[in-house]
Every structure is written in structure tokens, then in C-alpha cells.
């Protein structure tokens, strides 16, 4: 069987890391006898500046038939962030019911954590972030713009389908891993949506009695990410909290450039989308020094999702071996002086 994968490199370092990672991914698939074809889409901010839209009107119909989608990142200095994000990534995640954003955080051997006394896999947890609603729902409005009585309303939205999907995915993962789940909310202050969330956790827990559930408020959880990250295993959180906590997770495990992400439709009705956690990184774009590893690890998660475990393993092993070997090429974000391409070439050579 041959897989069809849509690739949207996007903006800034998004396109740099995607381009450099493709030969690595091809080498891994070849080595495992898996064949796949990619179709490139030039959707993103350049297109917006030219045509007024990040992607075409019928973009979702176009993507619908692929086995999976790979996205670099979006974000451009000349386009407001809410336009780039809403016009492409949120359009796809919401349209394709990709309720589940799974983001592993792992401190690889050979990578230095800013936390003292952590090394070699001491930090190893997975965040399940609700990906289609919550605080990122497009619900609200502005009135009396520019007047003294100006008002802005931004409402969070929690549906049973969206909440239950993410909570179930997290329980299933916890049952497979160490049997521990941490649900992170702010139910003391958000007494409607997040208490509803808590109720769903209680309900789904009945189906997974073997899983121990810990409940934390997001402020305390942020402190515990720094104070006792080794105690987390599977975490479930709302869209906004999961977004923030996974940047923190990337920080404590060495670099934003190492962090992978997924946008999964748990029903399999629509294709799922894979992407590094990071954005287009205005501060380093065009310099050729972005770390491609978060992207390569996102491809690992794509192949894992398609159940091509050998390809997934080949990518992960190459990354783990490269990072463990401190003389191997590495990008400046993790203390090296190599470029994106050198790191990718070295990964490819390890696989071949």
C-alpha cells in the first residue's frame, strides 16, 4: 500500500524544517519498505498577502481524501497572528474534528534541561490537549469599537463531544502507559465550562477504574511542571492550558525545536494532521538554523498513527542516537553551531 500525504510547509521556519526533513522521512520509509507520495500546498501567509486567503475556499475538500496532513507552521510579521492561525490551522482542526492534540514531552539523553538534576528520560509525559473548542472557540464579538464604552466578549465553548473525545483519548493512553492521569483545569474560577470538564472526567473514569486520577489547577500545575515534572505521565487539559503547558514542557525538556505535535480525529472519519509545536519563529527565520527534530518527531507520530511502527521507530532511533552523541551536528537552540540541513543530513545518514 502507498500512502498519500498532503504537505503544507507554511511560513518562516515552518517551510525550512519541513523541506530539510523530507529526505530523512523518505530514507526511513525506504528502509522499511513503505511507500508514500506527498503533494505540496503553498498555502500560508504569502498566499494571503497575494490573494487575501490563507487557503482556498474548497481547501478542506482538497485535503479530505489524504491519509494524513503534515503542516510546518504559519505566522508572518506582516499578517496579524489571529488571521494566520484562524485562516488555516484552526480551519483544518475544527473542520476535520481533530479534537485530540497529543504532545509528548521527553528529555532525550544528551540534551540539557534548564532544570537541575534532570537528564536521560527523567522527564517523560504526554499532554492531551483539547484541540477544537474551549477558549479557542470563535464565539464573541466587539461592540462600540473606538468609543469609550467599547466592549469585547470572548466566550469559551465546551461540548460533550469535544470534551469527551479528549478525555477518553487521555484515559486510554494512561491505561496503556503507567495508569496515571492528571486533569488540569481552573474549575475554581471557571465554574461552568471547567466544572463540566471535571464531570466528564468523573464519568469516563468509570470506564477506566484502573487509572489513578489527579486533578490540578493550572497555576499549581505550572509550578509542578518545574518542581516535579518526573511525576507526570499523561495529562489532559483544555485548548489554552494545553497550549501554554506544552511550551513549558518544551522548555524544560531542552528546546521548542524538539517538540512534536498531532491533531487527531479519533473517529478516523477525517485525515489527521501532524506538525511541530513551534511557530514560524520570526527571530530566526531565513537563517537556516531552525532545529528540524521537532518536525522529524512529528513525522514519527504520523507513521505511528498510520500504524507503520517500523518507520516511526527508525525516525525516533535516529533522533535519539544523534542527540546522545554530543559531537554530532546540533542546532544553536540546543547548544550547537550546525544548521538545519546538517542536522537533517546526519539523521538521514544514520537511517541509511
Interface with Mg ion (CB under 5 A): 243
Q: Which is nearer to ligand NAI, 271 or 294 (CB)?
A: 294
Of 3, 5, 131, the residue nearest 68 (C-alpha): 5
Q: What are the backbone angles phi and psi of residue 226, rounded to the nearest 5°? A: -90, -35
Residue 100, helix vs strand vs coil: strand
CA-based nearest residue to 183, from 130, 110, 261, 109: 130
- In 3D, which of 228, 100, 245, 134 has the Cα closest to residue 184? 245
Question: Does residue number 281 form part of the binding site for ligand NAI (CB under 6 A)?
Answer: yes
C-alpha span between 277 and 279 (Å, rounded): 7
Q: How far is the CB of 247 from Mg ion (least distance, A)?
A: 5
Q: Helices (H), strands (E): how many in the chain?
A: 12, 12
CA distance 310 to 12: 31
Q: Which residue in this structure is represented by grid cell 546538517?
A: 342
Residue 89 found at the interface with ligand NAI (CB under 6 A): yes
The reply on whether position 59 binds ligand NAI by CB under 6 A is no
Query: Residue 132 interacts with ligand NAI (CB under 6 A)?
Result: no
- From the list 296, 250, 294, 301, the residue with the least C-alpha distance to 105 is 250
Instruction: Decide if residue 16 touches ligand NAI (CB under 6 A).
Output: no
74 makes contact, choosing from ligand NAI, Mg ion, none, with CB < 5 to 8 Å by partner type, with: ligand NAI
Contact residue for ligand NAI among 131, 182, 187, 291 (CB under 6 A): 291
Calpha distance 59→74 (Å, rounded): 16
294 makes contact, choosing from Mg ion, ligand NAI, none, with CB < 5 to 8 Å by partner type, with: ligand NAI
Q: Which does 168 bind (CB under 5 to 8 A by kind): ligand NAI, Mg ion, none?
A: none
110 contributes a contact to ligand NAI by CB under 6 A = no
What is the closest distance, in whole angstroms, from the C-beta atom of residue 80 to ligand NAI in the complex?
9
| Residue 191 C-beta: closest distance to Mg ion, Å | 26
Asked if 333 is part of the footprint of ligand NAI (rule: CB under 6 A), the reply reads yes
Is the CB of 90 or the CB of 119 nearer to Mg ion?
90
| Residue (29 or 74) nearer to Mg ion, CB | 74
329 counts as binding ligand NAI under rule CB under 6 A: no
How many beta carbons lie within 10 A of that of residue 254, not counting itself?
A: 26
Start-to-end CA distance of the chain, whole Å, equals 22
State the CB neighbour count (10 A cutoff) for residue 80.
Answer: 10
Nearest distance from C-beta of residue 225 to ligand NAI, angstroms: 17
Judged by beta carbon distances under 5 to 8 A according to partner kind, the member of ligand NAI, Mg ion, none in contact with residue 280 is: ligand NAI
Interaction partner, residue 243 (ligand NAI, Mg ion, none; CB < 5-8 Å by kind): Mg ion
Strands 180-185 and 68-73: unpaired
Residue indicated by cell numbers 498577502: 49
CB closer to ligand NAI, 234 vs 296:
296
Name the residues that contact ligand NAI, by CB under 6 A. Answer: 13, 17, 73-75, 81, 84-85, 89, 256-257, 275, 278-284, 290-291, 294, 331, 333
Amino acid at each position: 500500500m502507498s500512502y498519500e500525504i498532503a504537505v503544507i510547509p507554511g511560513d518562516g521556519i515552518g517551510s525550512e524544517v519541513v523541506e530539510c526533513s523530507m529526505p530523512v522521512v523518505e530514507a526511513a520509509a525506504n528502509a522499511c519498505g513503505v511507500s508514500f507520495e506527498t503533494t505540496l500546498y503553498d498555502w500560508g501567509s504569502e498566499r494571503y498577502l497575494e490573494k487575501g486567503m490563507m487557503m482556498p475556499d474548497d481547501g478542506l475538500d482538497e485535503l479530505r481524501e489524504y491519509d494524513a496532513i503534515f503542516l510546518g507552521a504559519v505566522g508572518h510579521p506582516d499578517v496579524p497572528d489571529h488571521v494566520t492561525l484562524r485562516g488555516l490551522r484552526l480551519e483544518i482542526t475544527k473542520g476535520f474534528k481533530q479534537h485530540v492534540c497529543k504532545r509528548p514531552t521527553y528529555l532525550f539523553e544528551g540534551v540539557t534541561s534548564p532544570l537541575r538534576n534532570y537528564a536521560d528520560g527523567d522527564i517523560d509525559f504526554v499532554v492531551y490537549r483539547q484541540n477544537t473548542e474551549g477558549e479557542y472557540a470563535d464565539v464573541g464579538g466587539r461592540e462600540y469599537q473606538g468609543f469609550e464604552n467599547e466592549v469585547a466578549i470572548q466566550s469559551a465553548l465546551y461540548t460533550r463531544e469535544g470534551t469527551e473525545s479528549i478525555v477518553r483519548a487521555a484515559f486510554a493512553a494512561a491505561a496503556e502507559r503507567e495508569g496515571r492521569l492528571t486533569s488540569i483545569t481552573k474549575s475554581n474560577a471557571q465554574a461552568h465550562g471547567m466544572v463540566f470538564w471535571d464531570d466528564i472526567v468523573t464519568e469516563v473514569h468509570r470506564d477506566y477504574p484502573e487509572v489513578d486520577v489527579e486533578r490540578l489547577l493550572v497555576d499549581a500545575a505550572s509550578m509542578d511542571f518545574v518542581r516535579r515534572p518526573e511525576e507526570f505521565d499523561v495529562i489532559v487539559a483544555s485548548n489554552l492550558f494545553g497550549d501554554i503547558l506544552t511550551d513549558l514542557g518544551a522548555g524544560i525538556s531542552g528546546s521548542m525545536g524538539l517538540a512534536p505535535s498531532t491533531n487527531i480525529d479519533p473517529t478516523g472519519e477525517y485525515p489527521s494532521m501532524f506538525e511541530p509545536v513551534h511557530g514560524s519563529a520570526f527571530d530566526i527565520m531565513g537563517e537556516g538554523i531552525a532545529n528540524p527534530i521537532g518536525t522529524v518527531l512529528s513525522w514519527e507520530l504520523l507513521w505511528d498513527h498510520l500504524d507503520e511502527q517500523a518507520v516511526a521507530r527508525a525516525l525516533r532511533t535516529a533522533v535519539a542516537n544523534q542527540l546522545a552523541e554530543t559531537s554530532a551536528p546540533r542546532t544553536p537552540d540546543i547548544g550547537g553551531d550546525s544548521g538545519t540541513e546538517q542536522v537533517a543530513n546526519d539523521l538521514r545518514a544514520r537511517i541509511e
